[in-house]
Amino acid sequence: MTALRTALSALLALAPLALGSPSRADDGAPLPTVAELTHRLDDLYRSSASHGTMRMEVVTKRYSRSLEMEAWTKGDDLGLVVIRAPAREAGNASLKTEDGLWSYGKRSDRLLRIPPGLLSESWMGSHFTNDDLMRESSYEKDYDTTVARRTEDGRARLVLTMVPKPDTAIVYSRLEYVVDPDTLLPVRLDFFDKKSVVRRMFFEDVGDLGGRKVPKTLRLVPTDAPDEHTIVTYVDMTFDAKVPAGTFTPQGLRRATER
């Protein structure tokens, strides 16, 4: 999921909303093309390499936690996230390489590969999963997409309905992106399992991030637990950053945890 990989670049409390039915009725302005919209969504946070900091707040029925993190990425395959606070977890990290996803425990000084059977497990105790970090899908290439107009709460929206192509290994039966027609920025992303929305991502706090006008806060809510959420807020970000060679190695990870 591109939005979560953005969490690596630095990187739905609601029941299903009452939505109007999509309509292709002409409101006087032509619809943007599918290619324009999917390309914009793919490239919203993408860069050759990045470095930034972020905060993550997790609220569940059993616990709540807040983390401050620093992260680096390079391309689509390499990522490193290091926890900086709270102190008891500082230095723990996640490393993504071409060979898979790895978890590092500072106290034990052990780097363990996440096996395929655990990819559906929670990432850092959040509502994101390890599998969310590993999947490298492209909205342009991996989905058949249609676009329509919709009115929600009196506001005009564009709705992109994305169905995975038959040869793609994607968990969800379809995605629905709700987009602001003026800025073409995402407002919400609904994840479907057959006909049901199983989680929602809300894109909030639009502002400057590394010279780009983008949503700086992502709020993920599971629809079967509407009182729970995970919120990721980007504090700062440098796109097309100069990331030192060797960052995405066990040695580079350990150097990063010492800062």
What pLDDT shows up at residue 116?
83
Domain architecture of the chain: domains with CATH: 2-11+33-257 (2.50.20.10)
Q: Are 132 and 172 in contact (CB under 8 A)?
A: no
Which residues contact residue 41 at a Cβ distance below 8 angstroms, ignoring those fewer than 6 apart?
2, 139, 160, 177, 179, 186
Q: pLDDT tens digits for 167-201?
A: 887 889 999 999 999 999 999 999 999 999 999 99
Cα torsion for 38, 44, 47, 53, to the nearest 10°?
Answer: -150
Token pair 């807020």 in the structure block, residue = 233
54 pLDDT band, cuts 50/70/90, is: very high
The residue count of the chain comes to 259
What are the percentages of helix, strand and coil residues in the chain, rounded to 5? 15, 45, 40
- Torsion (CA) 123, 128, 133, 134 in degrees, nearest 10: 90
CA dist 157 and 186 (Å) reads: 10
The most confident of the ranges 33-47, 79-93, 116-130 is 79-93
pTM of the model: 0.85
Whether 17 has a pLDDT exceeding 50, the answer reads: no
| Unique residue bearing structure tokens 């504090």 | 235
List phi, psi (to 5°) of 256: -65, -35
Integer Cα distance of 234 and 209 in angstroms? 8
- pLDDT confidence of residue 214: 95
